Amino acid sequence: MRTYLITGGAGFIGSNFILYMLNKYNDIKIINVDALTYAGNLENLKEIEKNSNYGFVKADICDNEKIEEIFKNNDIDYVINFAAESHVDRSIKNPEIFAKTNILGTVVLLDIAKKYWQDGEGFIEGKKYLQVSTDEVYGSLGDDGFFHEYTPLDPHSPYSASKASADMIVKSYIDTYKFPANITRCSNNYGPYQFPEKLIPLVINNCLEGRDLPVYGDGKNIRDWLYVEDHAKAIDMVINKGRLGQIYNIGGHNEKQNIEIVNIIIDTLNQILDENDVRKKYISDKLIKYVKDRKGHDRRYAIDPSKIKDEIGWYPETCFEEGIKRTIKWYLENEEWLKNITNGEYLNYYSEMYE
């Protein structure tokens, strides 16, 4: 039975990944290590918390001792590092925590894995570390072109700079020690369990509450959107089939301007909500409020995913039209989850369940 150490598994993508893996395989063990910052929510994992192949450890990835203890007590085969401070706006206000978690935390994981994964002859076969990175490390594109794996790194926000630094550290372990690792760089994700500070859940939540929909600048910044389950599938495939030492871009050729996203959500909500739902009265483009642009706001991201498609056979299964409908329906069916986040109730979940 292979054992996965998943860091940041209580966050948006990490929890979707854990659910995906435990639904797909019944012969793997998952240890989820998460510091439970404001972005970590164990309610995301309610449906599998009693699964005997799953365990949770509350720990900071910067905490050498706790991470080492996990390696000492378990034969870890794979580390997948999702743990990060992940919100660009927060990084502009407070870069330090981004440097700590995203860079130093990565070094701690690499160092301990390096220590436990070697025998007398080098690295034990089958072990692998996967760094979950982002297309934001490449900086911004003009009107055309795509990010390739060989595009030079040119991060602009403290968030993307910290992710690029972590990528460089992972690369240095690959080059210096022949450390068994992959780096994946994915475009913007959307789907269930995303914290409502990010564009799509924020717009859904504000629409439902009749609040303004803040849109940065002229609203024409472009992101390349991917349904989170397709990201989970890609990571699973890179773990199993990715060539050691390689970087893989993950994206679905699905570029959309922010303002298009906002309008699609307004239209989709109006289609889905019951005819008599009172909220339909106020959900319209009248809620849109253009606000001062984000500092250093990258204009356009777009991924070329041909390498992962050609080498590994990955492709995105969920088109945007389908994915956004599923996502909106999920938020409508899980208003309790959303409420628990907006009123801070989710923070009590850990102490109620685990302490």
Ligand X SMILES: NC(=O)c1ccc[n+]([C@@H]2O[C@H](COP(=O)([O-])OP(=O)(O)OC[C@H]3O[C@@H](n4cnc5c(N)ncnc54)[C@H](O)[C@@H]3O)[C@@H](O)[C@H]2O)c1
Rounded to 5, what percent of the chain is helix, strand, coil?
45, 20, 35
- Site for ligand X (CB under 6 A): which residue of 13, 141, 232, 259? 13
State yes or no: residue 151 binds ligand X (CB under 6 A).
Answer: no
Q: Which stretch binds ligand X (CB under 6 A): 115-123, 187-195, 239-247, 298-306?
A: 187-195
State yes or no: residue 239 binds ligand X (CB under 6 A).
Answer: no
- Site for ligand X (CB under 6 A): which residue of 189, 205, 206, 249? 189
Is 322 a catalytic site residue? no
Structure tokens at 121: 């002859």
State yes or no: residue 40 binds ligand X (CB under 6 A).
Answer: yes
State yes or no: residue 230 binds ligand X (CB under 6 A).
Answer: no
Site string for ligand X, 258-297 (x = CB under 6 A): ----------------------------------------
- β-strand pairing of 222-227 with 255-257: antiparallel
Q: Which stretch binds ligand X (CB under 6 A): 76-84, 207-215, 269-277, 308-316?
A: 76-84
- Site for ligand X (CB under 6 A): which residue of 195, 227, 301, 350? 195
Query: What is the spatial distance between Cα 149 and Cα 303, in angstroms, rounded to a whole number?
Result: 9
Is 317 a catalytic site residue? no
Q: How far is the CB of 284 from ligand X (least distance, A)?
A: 27
Query: What is the spatial distance between Cα 86 and Cα 178, in angstroms, rounded to a whole number?
Result: 28
Is 4 a catalytic site residue? no
Find where tokens 């760089």 sit.
185
Structure tokens at 50: 């009693």
Q: Which stretch binds ligand X (CB under 6 A): 58-66, 302-310, 333-341, 346-354?
A: 58-66
Task: Check 85, 135, 230, 255 and give the catalytic one.
Answer: 135
156, 140 contact by CB (below 8 A): yes
Q: Cite the DSSP H helix spans in the chain.
A: 12-24, 64-73, 88-93, 95-98, 105-116, 158-177, 199-209, 228-241, 258-272, 306-312, 320-333, 335-342, 349-354
Q: Judged by CB, which is closer to ligand X: 63, or 267?
A: 63
State yes or no: residue 305 binds ligand X (CB under 6 A).
Answer: no
- Site for ligand X (CB under 6 A): which residue of 31, 34, 200, 238? 34
- Site for ligand X (CB under 6 A): which residue of 62, 259, 308, 328? 62
Task: Check 78, 138, 159, 346 and give the catalytic one.
Answer: 159
Find where tokens 């005819």 sit.
275
Find where tokens 């022949």 sit.
178
Q: Angle between the 199-209 and 258-272 helix axes, to the nearest 10 degrees?
A: 50
Q: How far is the CB of 115 from ligand X (least distance, A)?
A: 19
State yes or no: residue 139 binds ligand X (CB under 6 A).
Answer: no
194, 201 contact by CB (below 8 A): yes
Query: What is the spatial distance between Cα 280 and Cα 300, in angstroms, rounded to a whole number?
Result: 32
Q: Judged by CB, which is closer to ligand X: 5, or 287?
A: 5
Nearest residue to 219 (alpha-carbon basis) of 293, 303, 295, 135: 293
- Site for ligand X (CB under 6 A): which residue of 43, 60, 236, 255? 60
Q: How many residues bind ligand X (CB under 6 A)?
A: 30
Q: Which stretch binds ligand X (CB under 6 A): 34-42, 108-116, 292-300, 347-355?
A: 34-42
Query: What is the spatial distance between Cα 214 and Cα 68, in angstroms, rounded to a whole number?
Result: 43
Query: What is the spatial distance between Cα 49 and Cα 41, in angstroms, rounded to a whole number?
Result: 12
State yes or no: residue 323 binds ligand X (CB under 6 A).
Answer: no
In the bound state, the residue with its beta carbon closest to ligand X is 11
Query: What is the spatial distance between Cα 111 and Cα 230, in angstroms, rounded to a whole number?
Result: 30
Instruction: State which of positions 97-126 bind ligand X (CB under 6 A).
Output: 101, 105
14, 48 contact by CB (below 8 A): no
Structure tokens at 344: 């801070």
Q: Is the dihedral of CA 239, 240, 241, 244 positive or negative?
A: positive
Interacting residue ranges for ligand X, rule: CB under 6 A:
7-8, 10-14, 34-37, 39-40, 60-62, 82-86, 101, 105, 132, 134, 163, 186, 188-189, 195
Please identify every residue annotated as catalytic.
135-136, 159
